[in-house]
A = this chain, B = another copy of it.
Amino acid sequence: MQQFLSVSDSEDPGSLVKKALALKKDPFGNQIGKNKTLGLVFFNPSLRTRMSTQKAAMNLGMNVMVMNIDKDGWKIETHDGAIMDGDNQEHIKDAARVMSQYVDVLGVRTFPALKSREEDYSENVINQFVKHSEVPIISLESATRHPLQSLADLITIEELGIKKPKVVLSWAPHPRILPQAVSNSFLEWIKITDAEVTLACPEGYELDDQFIDGVTICHDQDKAFEGADIIYAKNWSSYHHYGQRLEVKQDWTITSDKMALTNNGKFMHCLPIRRNVVATDEVIDHSIVYQQAKNREFSAQVVLLEILERMK
């Protein structure tokens, strides 16, 4: 791999799952990262991504430098040709290129503003990093995708060992306006497996066509849950009424009663989760969300490994 922004950056994404499971058994077996440095650039908060990616790099013998760009560094201008006489202190093209010069691989986290669909879906920030960086870029979640999360999700599903699992990606309530990145990304990754996939969401919450192509859409949560092996819960704001919160009449919070409709289904979520809003305590406490979170370490490790192997 030369970069890791979406499922299409890997020639064989399915093989990543198997290699990650091998790394999980022997995390320190390959010290290919000696004298290599990973830079992690955060435009937004991060807990799992921050810690799991650091740990993954250290497992391979890499050094890690973390940069909270807005707090530790300078305010960033993202528009080409800007006359920088306002608050923004450094242009993204300069910051990206300079940071890339001090590291061997650069991870970047950036969230969408959820104001303009065109702007968010252009992936301007991470694409500017790709354009100006001298080293490979790894997405630590971008405006529209979160591939390290999705790869960890697939590792977790592989560990369940269910043949042709029935997987439901279910919208769930949340007090804030959230990105579509985790859901988009989950759909484009789950499609490389043999799973049967249903998207359960209120009307108006359908995702972009490029992600739901080939996916069954169901606006009745109970019906979607029937016989499911895996319930993947996530909130997102509307794609078609971009960034808006639409009126939802039914209660989409995931409860034990709803889980009882499934085929002894496992509950998944990328965390952080709003307890008793997205799902009840009981559902979360009997879920596989921690196994998912732990697998973030190995999804990051296999991606770093593939990138470092190509560099040699």
Q: How far is the CA of A53 from the CA of B55 in the complex (A)?
A: 18
* A24-53 residues at the B interface, CB under 8 angstroms: 28, 35, 37, 39, 42, 45-48, 50-52
Q: How far is the CA of A86 from the CA of B52 in the complex (A)?
A: 27
Binds B, one of A2-10, A75-83, A142-150, A205-213: A75-83
A97 CB–B CB distance under 8 Å: yes
A65 with B74: CB separation less than 8 A: no
Binds B, one of A115-123, A237-245, A268-276: A268-276
Q: Which of these, B48, B69, B71, B275, contacts A91 with CB under 8 Å? A: B275
B94 with A272: CB separation less than 8 A: yes
- A247 to chain B minimum Cβ distance, whole angstroms, is 17
B90 with A271: CB separation less than 8 A: yes
Q: How far is the CA of A45 from the CA of B86 in the complex (A)?
A: 18
- A35 to chain B minimum Cβ distance, whole angstroms, is 5
Q: Which of these, B55, B86, B293, contacts A103 with CB under 8 Å? A: B55
Q: How far is the CA of A77 from the CA of B91 in the complex (A)?
A: 34
Report chain B residues within 8 Å CB of A68.
71-72
B47 with A90: CB separation less than 8 A: yes
Using an 8 Å CB-CB cutoff, how does the interface string of A90-111 with B read, 1 for contact, 0 for none? 1100110111011100000000
A196 CB–B CB distance under 8 Å: no
A90 with B50: CB separation less than 8 A: no
- A171 to chain B minimum Cβ distance, whole angstroms, is 16
Once A51-B65, A67-B51, A102-B297 are accepted as A-B contacts, the answer to whether A58 and B37 lie under 8 Å apart by CB is yes
Q: Which of these, B54, B69, B102, contacts A65 with CB under 8 Å? A: B54
A281 CB–B CB distance under 8 Å: yes
Report chain B residues within 8 Å CB of A281.
81
Q: How far is the CA of A101 from the CA of B297 in the complex (A)?
A: 9
Q: How far is the CA of A39 from the CA of B266 in the complex (A)?
A: 29
Report chain B residues within 8 Å CB of A98.
47-48, 51, 271, 290, 293-294
When C-beta atoms are compared, the residue in chain B nearest to A53 turns out to be: B102
A175 with B86: CB separation less than 8 A: yes
Q: How far is the CA of A72 from the CA of B49 in the complex (A)?
A: 11
The 8 closest A-B pairs by CB, nearest first: A90-B272, A47-B73, A84-B274, A83-B276, A51-B102, A98-B293, A101-B294, A85-B175
Apart from the given pairs A37-B58, A58-B63, A84-B274, 5 other A-B contacts in the complex at a CB distance below 8 Å: A47-B98, A50-B72, A74-B272, A85-B277, A102-B294
7 pairs from A and B in contact (CB 8 Å cutoff):
A28-B35, A37-B55, A51-B103, A90-B271, A94-B284, A101-B290, A101-B294
Q: Which residues of A contact B (CB under 8 A)?
A: 28, 35, 37, 39, 42, 45-48, 50-52, 54-55, 58, 63, 65, 67-69, 71-74, 77, 81-86, 89-91, 94-95, 97-99, 101-103, 175, 271-277, 281, 284, 289-290, 293-294, 297
